[in-house]
Amino acid sequence: MNKQIKISPSIMCCKLWEVRDFVQAFEETGVDSVHFDVMDGHYVDNIMLGTSFYKDIKELTHIPVNIHLMCMEPERYLDYFSPAEGDRVSFHPESCNQPYKLLQRIRENGLKAGLALSPGTPIEILVEVRKILDFILVMAVNPGFGGQKMVPDHIDKLERISELIKRFEMDVDVFVDGNTTLQNTKKMYAAGANGFIVGTSSLLKNVDYFKEQYSGYIANIINTPNNTLLEKKYGWNNSH
């Protein structure tokens, strides 16, 4: 099974006055999606991004939006945002009363359904929802704020998730959110991730930097020395 490398720039990392230029750059480079963090000030201490901003992004581009709900009772937010068909929606299972039911509902709305796993969230729940799961969002940092360093056992967690995916023959993308520097991303990729949420620690320093570095960023990931080991260990290889 081939897994394409997928880049999803985090729109919260863009300066407000640069959003339009960044979105245009995302279209020119062909990113997979635009990552959109929603925080309620309860599940995490921070507060952002709202429904009006989501609608603005959808007016600017047809690129799918990757909505990450860092909220208590995320089931309440699906109707607020009314995501467009083809968008992705992920949430943290511990914040939800009935995670299986919410995944079903997300899919019924024509969206791709995902679970977001914080550093301390056990991976076993993935087995229970594997038939209705399109992607996994693995947090390399504690959710809520940018600028953090990757937690020390993140790579081990990715490897265990990859082994679980192989064991149960799950057809899912594995995205990583947090501190996706090129050096870290090579390790994440070698551990089985194929999607990367990029921010100021990697590509979103400014619009020109993003356009100049985008192709090289992916090429360097693909050329990770552990490619052969990855294919043998997890039964699939990544290609752009």
Domain with 159 in it: what CATH number? 3.20.20.70
Total number of domains constituting the chain: 1
Active-site residue (options: 21, 32, 37, 156): 37
- What is the rounded average pLDDT of the residues 219-230? 70
Distance CA 15, CA 13 (A): 7
Which pLDDT score is estimated for 223? 86
Which pLDDT belongs to residue 147? 67
Residues 90/64, Cβ–Cβ less than 8 Å = no
* Res 2: pLDDT: 52
Catalytic residue at 40?
no
Tens digit of pLDDT for each residue in 66-123?
999 999 999 999 999 999 999 999 999 999 999 999 999 999 999 999 999 999 999 9
Two tokens, residue 157: 């967690």
Identity of residue 195:
G
Owning domain of residue 78: 2-239
Amino acid identity at 104: Q
Q: Tell which phi-psi region holds residue 184, choosing left (phi > 0), alpha (psi between -120 and 50) or beta.
A: alpha
Q: Verify whether residue 177 is a known catalytic residue.
A: yes
Which residue among 40, 87, 134, 177 is the active-site one? 177
Query: Residue 234: how many CA atoms within 13 Å on its side-chain side?
Result: 29
Is it the case that residue 230 has pLDDT exceeding 80? no
pLDDT tens column, 144-196: 676 668 999 999 999 999 999 999 999 999 999 989 999 999 999 999 999 99
pTM, full prediction: 0.91
Return the number of other C-beta atoms located less than 10 Å from residue 174's C-beta.
24
